[in-house]
Amino acid sequence: MLTVRGSGILLHPTSLPGTLGGGVFGSDCCRFIDWLASTGQTYWQVLPMGEIGPGNSPYMSSSAFAGNILLIDLAELASQGWLSREDLAPLPGFRADRVDFALVQPFRLERLRRAARNFFANRHDSVFWLYEEFCTAESAWLEDYALFKTIAGHENWREWNHWPKNLAHRDPQALLTIKMSYPDEIGFWKFCQWSFSRQWSNLKRYANERGVRIIGDVPIFVAYQSADVWAHQGLFELDGKGRPTVVAGVPPDYFSETGQLWGNPLYRWDVHRETGYAWWLARLRHALQLADLVRIDHFRGFAAYWEIPADAPNAIAGKWEPGPGEKLFAAFEKTFPRLPIVAEDLGVITPDVVALRDKFKLPGMRILQFAFGDGETNHFLPHHYVQNTVAYTGTHDNDTTTGWWSALPDHEKNFARKYLGTGGEAINWVMMNALSRSAANIVIFPMQDVLGLSSEHRMNLPGKPDGNWEWRFSWDQIKPEHTRALAEMTAENGRSAGQ
| Residues belonging to the active site | 297, 344, 397
Label residue 349 exposed, middle or buried (CB < 10 Å: 0-12, 13-18, 19+): middle
Distance from CA of residue 303 to its chain's centroid? 21
Angle between helices 427-437 and 480-492 (to 10 degrees): 20
Q: Which amino acid is at 408?
A: L
CA 355 to CA 344: how far, in whole Å?
Answer: 14
Closest by Cα among 39, 463, 392 to 217: 392
Whether 229 contacts 59, CB under 8 Å: no
- DSSP per-residue letters across 223-241: -SSSHHHHHTGGGB-B-TT
CA distances from 406 to 176, 399, 400, 425, 462 (A): 59, 10, 10, 11, 19
Whether 390 contacts 2, CB under 8 Å: yes
Q: Which helix (H) or strand (E) holds 146?
A: helix 139-154
Strand segments, DSSP code E, in 219-314 are: 246-250, 260-265, 293-296, 304-309
Whether 391 contacts 440, CB under 8 Å: yes
CA 271 to CA 46: how far, in whole Å?
Answer: 31
CA 340 to CA 362: how far, in whole Å?
Answer: 8
